[in-house]
Amino acid sequence: MKYAKEVIELMSAYPGRDFRMVELVNSVTSGKHTGKQRSAAREGIRTVLSRLKESGCVIVRPPGKARGGYAVYRWKAK
């Protein structure tokens, strides 16, 4: 998993804070990547988040039913 280290470092530094996918992608790519590279990074981050959810380290709040809703991801505070 290519982006696991970056995602874990960022989220574990702020336990209890909600992160949107766009914030995680911006943090990992630092704005220097093209659209295809950002899309690939998003898929990699999604894989990392799903594994962290399975292990119980991350809590996922699904997107709302309203149009334009987004999911948020939170590092589980001890």
Q: How far, rounded to the nearest angstrom, does the alpha carbon of residue 15 sit from its chain's CA centroid? A: 13
Q: Where does residue 28 rank: exposed (0-12), middle (13-18), buried (19+ CB within 10 A)?
A: buried
Per CATH, which fold does 4-75 belong to? Answer: Arc Repressor Mutant, subunit A (1.10.10)
pLDDT tens across 36-56, in order?
989 999 999 999 999 999 999
Cβ neighbours of residue 14 closer than 8 Å, sequence gap 6 or more = 75
Is 0.85 topped by the overall pTM? yes
Q: Tally Cβ neighbours within 10 Å of residue 11.
A: 22
- Between helix 35-55 and helix 21-29 the angle, nearest 10°, is 120
Instruction: Give the pLDDT confidence score for residue 35 in this predicted structure.
Output: 85
The ranges assigned to domains in the chain are 4-75
